[in-house]
Structure 1
Amino acid sequence: MNNIKEVAVIGLGYIGLPTAAILASKGIAVRGVDVTPRTVEAVNKGEVPFVEPALGEFVSAAVSAGTLSASFETPEAEAYIVAVPTPFNDDYTADLSYIEAAADGIAPVLKGGELVILESTSPPGATQHLFDYLLNKRPDLSADNLLVAHCPERVLPGYVMEELVTNDRIVGGITPEAADKAKALYETFCQADILTTDAKTAEMAKLVENSYRDVNIAFANELSVISDKLGIDVWELISLANRHPRVNILQPGPGVGGHCIAVDPWFIVSAAPEESQLIRTARNTNDSKPNWVINKVVAATKSSGFNGKVAVMGLAFKANIDDMRESPAIEITRQLAEANPTVEFLAVEPHVEALPKKLEGISNLTLTPTDEALKSAGVVTLLVDHDQFKSVPATVLAGKEIIDTRGLWR
Structure 2
Amino acid sequence: MKKKICILGLGYIGLPTAAMFATHGHKIVGVDVNNTVVSELNKGKITIEEPYLDIMVQSAVKSGNLVARSTPEDADVFIIAVPTPINKDKTADMSYVVSATESIVPCLKKGNIVILESTSPPGTVENLLIPILEKSGLDVGRDLLVAHSPERVLPGRILKELEENNRIIGGVNQESCEAVKELYRTFVKGEIYLTTPTTAEMTKLMENTFRDVNIALANELAKICESMKINAWEVIELANKHPRVNIHQPGPGVGGHCLAVDPWFIVEKQPKTAKIIDLSRKTNDSMPTHVYDRIKEILSGIKDNKKVTILGVTYKPNIDDLRESPVLELIDLLEQDDDIDISIFDPHVFTCKYIEKDMYNALKDSDLAVLAVNHDYFKNVDFQNMKGVMKTPNILDTRNFWSEDIVNDLGLDYYLLGKK
After TM superposition, is the score higher than 0.5?
yes
- The residue type equivalent to 2:180 in the other structure is A
Q: Deviations over 1:217-247 (max 9, x none)?
A: 0011111111122222222221121111111
Q: How does 1:236-275 map to 2 (within 5 A)?
A: 236-275=234-273
2:286 is paired with a residue whose SS is helix
Q: How does 1:261-300 map to 2 (within 5 A)?
A: 261-300=259-298
Match of 2:334 among 325, 329, 336: 336
Provide the rounded CA distance (Å) in 2 between the counterparts of 1:104 and 1:84.
Answer: 13
1:275 is paired with a residue whose SS is coil
Match of 1:354 among 351, 354, 370: 351
Q: Does residue 1:213 correspond to 2:202, yes or no?
A: no
Say whether the 8 Å CA contact 2:334–2:340 is kept in structure 1. no
Match of 2:70 among 69, 72, 80: 72
1:293 is paired with a residue whose SS is helix
Q: Does residue 1:345 correspond to 2:342, yes or no?
A: yes
Shift of 1:91: 3.2
Q: Does residue 1:380 correspond to 2:369, yes or no?
A: yes
Which residue does 1:390 correspond to in 2? 379
Which residue does 1:401 correspond to in 2? 394
Say whether the 8 Å CA contact 2:305–2:339 is kept in structure 1. no
Q: Unpaired runs of 5+ in structure 2?
A: 404-420
Q: Which moved more, 1:81-90 or 1:315-324?
A: 81-90
Q: TM-score normalised to the size of structure 1? A: 0.94
Which residue does 2:410 correspond to in 1? none
Shift of 1:292: 0.2
Which residue does 1:322 correspond to in 2? 320
Provide the rounded CA distance (Å) in 1 between the counterparts of 2:184 and 2:129.
Answer: 20
Say whether the 8 Å CA contact 1:4–1:79 is kept in structure 2. no
- The residue type equivalent to 2:272 in the other structure is E
Provide the rounded CA distance (Å) in 2 between the counterparts of 1:89 and 1:343.
Answer: 30
Shift of 1:343: 2.4
Give % identity: 46
Residue 4 and residue 99 in structure 1: after superposition, are their counterparts in 2 closer, same or farther (change >3 A)? farther
Provide the rounded CA distance (Å) in 2 between the counterparts of 1:213 and 1:74.
Answer: 36
1:165 is paired with a residue whose SS is helix
Shift of 1:396: 4.1
Shift of 1:88: 2.4
Which residue does 1:132 correspond to in 2? 131
Say whether the 8 Å CA contact 1:4–1:185 is kept in structure 2. no
Q: Which moved more, 1:8-17 or 1:340-349?
A: 340-349
* RMSD (CA atoms): 1.5
Q: TM-score normalised to the size of structure 2? A: 0.91
1:141 is paired with a residue whose SS is coil
- The residue type equivalent to 2:133 in the other structure is L
Q: How does 1:21-170 map to 2 (within 5 A)?
A: 21-128=19-126, 129-135=128-134, 137-138=135-136, 140-143=137-140, 144-170=142-168
Shift of 1:93: 2.5
Provide the rounded CA distance (Å) in 2 between the counterparts of 1:234 and 1:376.
Answer: 31
Say whether the 8 Å CA contact 1:154–1:167 is kept in structure 2. yes
Say whether the 8 Å CA contact 2:86–2:261 is kept in structure 1. yes
Residue 394 and residue 229 in structure 1: after superposition, are their counterparts in 2 closer, same or farther (change >3 A)? farther
Provide the rounded CA distance (Å) in 1 between the counterparts of 2:224 and 2:364.
Answer: 32
Say whether the 8 Å CA contact 2:147–2:169 is kept in structure 1. yes
Say whether the 8 Å CA contact 2:356–2:362 is kept in structure 1. no
Say whether the 8 Å CA contact 1:354–1:367 is kept in structure 2. no
Q: Deviations over 1:6-38 (max 9, x none)?
A: 101100000000000000010100010000011
Shift of 1:189: 0.4
Residue 44 and residue 68 in structure 1: after superposition, are their counterparts in 2 closer, same or farther (change >3 A)? same
1:376 is paired with a residue whose SS is coil
Aligned length: 397
Q: Unpaired runs of 5+ in structure 1?
A: 360-364
Shift of 1:47: 1.1
1:238 is paired with a residue whose SS is helix
Q: Deviations over 1:166-188 (max 9, x none)?
A: 10000001111111111111110
Say whether the 8 Å CA contact 2:209–2:263 is kept in structure 1. yes
- The residue type equivalent to 1:86 in the other structure is T
Match of 1:16 among 14, 17, 22: 14
Which residue does 2:199 correspond to in 1? 201
Provide the rounded CA distance (Å) in 2 between the counterparts of 1:6 and 1:306.
Answer: 64
Which residue does 2:406 correspond to in 1? none
Q: Which moved more, 1:237-246 or 1:301-310?
A: 301-310
Shift of 1:397: 4.9
- The residue type equivalent to 2:132 in the other structure is Y
Which residue does 1:177 correspond to in 2? 175
Q: Deviations over 1:93-135 (max 9, x none)?
A: 2221111110121001112220000000001111122121111
Provide the rounded CA distance (Å) in 2 between the counterparts of 1:100 and 1:52.
Answer: 28
Provide the rounded CA distance (Å) in 2 between the counterparts of 1:199 and 1:146.
Answer: 15
Shift of 1:304: 2.9
1:70 is paired with a residue whose SS is strand
1:56 is paired with a residue whose SS is helix
Provide the rounded CA distance (Å) in 2 between the counterparts of 1:305 and 1:204.
Answer: 52
Shift of 1:366: 4.3
Which residue does 1:362 correspond to in 2? none
Say whether the 8 Å CA contact 1:92–1:270 is kept in structure 2. yes
- The residue type equivalent to 1:327 in the other structure is S
- The residue type equivalent to 2:395 in the other structure is I
Q: Which moved more, 1:74-83 or 1:227-236?
A: 227-236
Provide the rounded CA distance (Å) in 1 between the counterparts of 2:130 and 2:383.
Answer: 57
Residue 191 and residue 218 in structure 1: after superposition, are their counterparts in 2 closer, same or farther (change >3 A)? same
- The residue type equivalent to 2:18 in the other structure is A
Match of 2:358 among 369, 374, 390: 369
